[in-house]
Amino acid sequence: MAGAGALLRQCPLLLPQARDGTAYEGFVTAQGKDFHIRILLPVDLQLKNARIECSWHLKKILHRYQHILKQRLHSCPDLVSFMVELKTLLEIALKNTPDLHIPRPPEYYSCLVRDIEILGWNKVPYVDAGLSTVKLKAEDSCGRQHLITLKLNAKYPTEPPDCLVDFPVQFAVSWMPQNSLTDIYNQFLVALESLKEFWNAMDEIDGKTWVLEPENPTRSATTRRIAIGNNVSVNIDVDPWHPNMLPECYFLGAEHVVNPLRMKLNNNMHLWDPEISLLQNLKDLLEIDFPPRAVLEKSDFAKDCGICYAYRLDGSTPDHVCNEPRCGQPFHQACLYEWLQGLPSSRQSFNVIFGACPYCNK
């Protein structure tokens, strides 16, 4: 084991309690705070069989790092090395658990409670026990409900809270030390109205078409994969700031079905009218009616992969279709790639692989 002098330099507050070096007790220091600790070693002084006892406070801070501590006990050659590792780990843990080591002054709580009372408790659906996380709810002019989560640090209101929102764009708060929760709330309302047209367009698509992906769209999602027919769909990516402009469109399906749709989109692009809805524009340009939700079921479009016989695989859905008109079987890209790689008859050119359909062999 390394000498007592080295241990004293690393942990001057950790003192031996036995002549044979099997017990140490004292304090380990990190970020200017001392934490009580007791280390009991076996007679052979093997660290892997050591027992560590500490205060409930230190135990709570290191709770998520127990497996790392056990690894360090097994790998460190001596107690000095282990204490260096422990102090480093404790520094990391303290940075990741600020509420445990940064005391909040009384003014923080009185200021926060006053701000909430001015704003109105009816706008606060959630406050955590430590009054460090606050959720505010708001309704936009179209009746949609929205939440904003505020993570406050001990220097509030000198420093602004971190704001978490379900937006397709960044939400940046303008903040001065004299500001309050009401100022954030008002900025939140302004941001909601600025995105109203985007959410109107997406809500119409979600309500009137079969959206294959994402399965449960969030308010921040800008893409929709819309069913057009059996194994044919279009993926659109909408600009949140210009939702009534032509979005990026990518068609998925067999080439003999997809090519005419691409041609219609290119030929009719000049007909796009920003004064009418995004969905109506897509119908006009593609010269189609999207399958309505009221008549058909999602299962009419959501066909399982012809290889793994599942619809959803690691979050993805079948998006590659056999080009044989009489087949049209869909596959997951990952399943198809793995299948074709295993065929001696398939060939690859750069990142494209060619081979027979696993379903119809064409």
Q: Which pLDDT score, from 0 to 100, does residue 4 have?
A: 61
> φ and ψ at 37, to 5 degrees?
-150, 150
> Which pair of tokens denotes residue 143?
């009746």
Cα separation values, 232 from 65, 222, 321, Å: 49, 20, 9
What is the reported pLDDT for 49? 84
Assess contact for 340 and 352: CB atoms under 8 A: no
d(CA 34, CA 99): 17
The torsion angles phi and psi of 350, rounded to 5 degrees, stand at: 55, -120
Interhelix angle 66-75/79-96, nearest 10 degrees: 160
Q: Whose CA is closest to 250, among 237, 241, 268?
A: 237
Domains 106-200 and 304-361 in one fold: no
Give every residue of the chain whose pLDDT is below 50, as ranges: 1-2, 100-101
Query: Could you tell me the fold of the domain covering 106-200?
Result: Ubiquitin Conjugating Enzyme (3.10.110)
Specify the pLDDT at position 361: 80
- Three-class HEC string of 103-155: CCCHHHHHHHHHHHHHHCHHHCCEECCCCCEEEEEEECCCCCEEEEEEECCCC
pLDDT at 299: 59
Say what the pLDDT of residue 168 is: 95
**What CA–CA distance (Å, rounded) separates 270 from 248?**
15
**Which helix (H) or strand (E) segment is 333 a member of?**
helix 333-341
Classified by CATH at the fold level, domain 209-302 comes out as Ubiquitin Conjugating Enzyme (3.10.110)
The first and second tokens of residue 171, run together, are 């939400």
CATH architecture of 304-361: 2-Layer Sandwich (3.30)
Predicted TM-score (pTM) of the model is 0.63
The structural domains of the chain, with segments of one domain joined by +, span: 1-100, 106-200, 209-302, 304-361
Dist. CA 43–CA 203, nearest whole Å: 70
Rg (CA), the chain: 31
Please report the pLDDT score of residue 268 as a whole number.
95
Write the pLDDT tens digit of every residue in 142-191.
999 999 999 998 889 998 999 999 999 999 899 998 999 999 999 999 99
Q: How far is CA 93 from its chain centroid?
A: 22
pLDDT at 348: 81
SS3 label, residue 348 = strand
Q: List pLDDT tens digits, range 190-202.
A: 999 999 999 999 9
- Going by C-alpha positions, the residue among 151, 127, 277 that lies closest to residue 206 is 277
